[in-house]
Amino acid sequence: MDFDIKRVFIFIGSAMIILLAVYQIFGNAKEKDDEKMEGESDKVVFEIEKSDDLDLALYYEGEHNYYLYGLKEVMVTYQNEKKSLKEYLNTGESIEELVDGFVIAKANDGGSILYKGDVVNVLVCHRSLDNNTYNEDIYVGAYDMEYEEGFCE
């Protein structure tokens, strides 16, 4: 009888180890999928409506002036909410939060920063106009917008 009890314990122990290993494999895969979905919800997605020409239009006035360059509208999906860029700016979101993860390039004026994304580029001006005055306008354009003469003046 002792011999049969040992086999039962060995069988039960082996089955539990196999079940634990299967749970670890599939449980970790599920957690990674959940983490990926959470990370994707934090990703900012821009959608643009281009204009027929490369006009520069004042889009929003607040702490900074925002201009659209060659665009009619900019929609942003951020934290699973889709709104116009203007709506996000009205709620106090900063443009720096929305372009987190963009490639950063220095502009030709020494202080401005050009954020390059897949859909939009954003130029944040920081150009000295005189002793203590800076132009801190913000330009939003399609992915091919670059720093041009006349920006940040």
Closest CA relative to residue 76, chosen from 140, 10, 1, 135: 140
Q: What is the mean pLDDT of the chain?
A: 83
Mean pLDDT in residue range 147-153: 83
26: containing domain: 1-41
Same domain, 112 and 62: yes
Same domain, 32 and 68: no
- Phi-psi label, residue 32: left if phi above 0, alpha if psi -120 to 50, beta otherwise: alpha
Confidence of residue 37 (pLDDT cuts 50, 70, 90): very low
Which of 73-77, 88-92, 96-100, 127-131 is most confident? Answer: 73-77
Closest CA relative to residue 113, chosen from 132, 139, 88, 133: 139
Instruction: Please state, for a pLDDT cut of 90, what percent of the chain lies above it.
Output: 36
The 3-state DSSP class for residue 105 equals strand
Same domain, 79 and 115: yes
Q: Is 149 part of a structural domain of the chain?
A: no
Distance of CA 126 to the CA centre of its chain: 22
Q: How many domains does the chain have?
A: 2
Find where tokens 């897949």 sit.
118
The per-residue pLDDT for 2 is: 54
Say if residue 118's pLDDT is above 50. yes
Q: Is 147 part of a structural domain of the chain?
A: no
Same domain, 90 and 67: yes
Same domain, 80 and 136: yes
Find where tokens 């006349």 sit.
150
Pairing of strands 81-84, 71-78: antiparallel
Q: Which residue has the higher pLDDT, 128 or 142?
A: 142
Confidence of residue 134 (pLDDT cuts 50, 70, 90): confident
Q: Is the pTM of this model over 0.75?
A: no
Say if residue 44's pLDDT is above 80. yes
The per-residue pLDDT for 149 is: 81
The 3-state DSSP class for residue 79 equals coil
Q: Is 151 part of a structural domain of the chain?
A: no
Integer Cα distance of 39 and 19 in angstroms: 30
Mean pLDDT in residue range 51-80: 90
The per-residue pLDDT for 39 is: 47
Mean pLDDT in residue range 117-136: 84
Q: Is 150 part of a structural domain of the chain?
A: no
Say if residue 18's pLDDT is above 60. yes
